[in-house]
Structure 1
Amino acid sequence: MGDHLIILIRSISAFIILMLIARLLGKQTLSNMNFHEFVTAVILGAMAANFAFNEKIEVMHLIIALSVFTLTSFVLSKLFMKFRRFKLWTEGSPTVLIEGGAILEGNLKKNNMTLDSLNQQLRQKEIFNIEDVEYALLEINGKLSVQKKKELQPVTLKDLQLNPGAAPQYPIELIIDGQLLQKNMEVNQVSESWLISQLKARGKLPKDIFYAVKGSNGQLYVDEYYDKIIHPIDIE
């Protein structure tokens, strides 16, 4: 009976520890798990499970191991926020699978993805005809982002003001964390002078901007570091 009680206590303790670690690492870990977060979750889960029924594992050894992996994941998350190139180097970048309605077979092979698995993910988004897709992007967390062809997209009041014969445009990221994305600007023929003039009209410099995107309507969307929100809301 004593052994059963010990296993019960150790199991509850392991569960509580994992709950505290998940809380510490934040909501991002739960919503969009990337490579290092996936590895961390697997290792932490395995250690906690072993601790629950393996009495040879000492409590202090478990705490040290969990602390190391938790701290490593936490530090990596902070580095990813600070250094975008480091994030791209370690995690990679999203991959275009369908562009202009055409399937990019080479990108499918690079991601070890078959046409069947692509169709499966499209069906999960209620798209049963691949011909309806204009643009599909495989995110770094393995999820698929899809844009339907223009004639199949729902009409909004904003659409009524656009030229129906204009070619579709995709949002172009220009600034992330105060840094100009020169490659994006060059590939999409967005001049730096145009961007700077748009920012000057707002009384801002690139270093003042957290995120800037040229939208599908050609307008510039800007998010500043300081959003002037006095009491931000966070649902408890």
Structure 2
Amino acid sequence: MPEWVEVITRTLAAVVVLFALTRLLGKRQISQLSFFEYITGITIGDLAATISLDVKGTWYLGIISLSVWVLVSLGIEFLQLKSKKARDFIDSKSTVLIKDGKILEDNLKKERLTNEELLEQLRGKDVFKAAEVEFAIMEPNGEINVLLKKQNQPLTPTHLGIQVAPETESQTVILDGKVMDEPLATRGLNRRWIHTELEKIGVSLDNVYIGQVDAYGQLYVDLFDDKIKVPEPQQKATLYADLKKCQADLEMFGLSTDRLEAKTMYGQCSMQLEQVISDVKPLLTR
């Protein structure tokens, strides 16, 4: 067999074996790596390249070596699952780099991290002042996670004591001009609804690149033709305006009548509707 044919054959075989062994190792091997996983990844890649090009060597010995490395890696992962001491020894522990806004220089030196590198990592987390940080911790995989001080954290409905309903994920109902029936049925909708909504905004189905329905049943589309500007759905804005108009009408009816009972009734209804508007405003105006 010519050497170039043998190289092609070995390379294809190495790809298949490497793919199978990587699937066996799991997704963790292709995520952010620990020390041992980093070494394992480099070694397995080097062995696969050697199997492909070393035509004078015995190919099955490379496969045996690959298998041994994979088994060792699986054994290490199993040991880490069973023992915290093993995890701490193999992956090391997390290191606190900032505490109460104070940078811990000794821990930076321990991790061989300069102050400029730390600031760069903080900027990657949208933090530009170390004094705003409550804790900054370097994880065993080298990633730095940051917790801001309370006064510097973004304001959320929880901070204001407001309860909001859970929001379901958006469903993609149109892809490349074709209706996706399964996600459409998940929302309790049908093709007739799709065509009605597209008619409202003056868009044909075959011009829709992606169409998504949000948790409130509104259709958002991105078109193949980027020059066409698609109007934003206005159902929520219209509903909010209608509620405000009804509340204003109730107040006006209460002011225009001379009957005490009617005035009281209109006033109570206006106050109740005002409370409803206040409750649904975050959902209708965002």
TM-score by length of 2: 0.53
Residue type matched to 2:136 in 1? A
2:65: which partner in 1? Answer: 65
Measured in 2, the distance between the counterparts of 1:93 and 1:106 equals 15
* CA displacement at 1:133 relative to structure 2: 1.9
Query: Contact 2:91–2:140 (CA<8 Å) still a contact in 1?
Result: yes
- Structure ranking higher in helix proportion: 2
Q: What residue number does 2:92 align with?
A: 92
- 2:39 alignment partner in structure 1: 39
Aligned length: 162
State the Cα distance separating 1:57 from its structure 2 match. Answer: 2.8
Partner of 1:127: 127
> What's the Cα RMSD here?
1.8
For structure 1, which segment, 17-26 or 102-111, has the greater mean C-alpha deviation from structure 2 after superposition?
17-26
Does the 8 A contact of 2:103 with 2:130 survive in 1?
A: no
- Report how far residue 8 of structure 1 moved: 1.8
Aligned amino acid, residue 156 of structure 2: T
Structure number with larger C-alpha Rg: 2
Which residue in the other structure is 1:29 paired with? 29
Which string of whole-angstrom CA distances, capped at 9 and with x for unpartnered residues, describes residues 124-165 of structure 1? 22223333322110000011111122222112222234xxxx
1:32-51 CA-to-partner distances (Å, cap 9, x unmatched) read 31111111111111111112
Q: Where does structure 1 differ by over 3 angstroms across 4 or more consecutive aligned residues?
A: none
Q: Are 2:153 and 1:153 equivalent residues in the alignment?
A: yes
CA distance, structure 2, for counterparts of residue 144 and residue 58 of structure 1? 45
* Alpha-carbon distance in structure 2 between the residues aligned to 1:56 and 1:135: 56
Number of the residue aligned with 1:185:
none
CA distance in 2, matches of 1:90, 1:134: 28
Identity score, percent: 36
* More deviation, 3-12/110-119: 3-12
CA distance in 1, matches of 2:20, 2:57: 20
Q: Which residue does the alignment assign to 1:183?
A: none
SS in 1 for 2:160: helix
Q: SS of the residue aligned with 2:98?
A: strand
**2:146 is paired with a residue of what secondary structure?**
strand
**Which structure is richer in relative contact order (CA contacts within 8 A, separation 6 or more)?**
1
Gap regions ≥5 residues in structure 2:
162-286
Q: Deviations 1:196-232 (Å, cap 9, x if unpaired)?
A: xxxxxxxxxxxxxxxxxxxxxxxxxxxxxxxxxxxxx
Partner Cα separation in structure 1 for residue 73 and residue 132 of structure 2:
39
Q: Give the match's secondary structure for 1:159.
A: coil
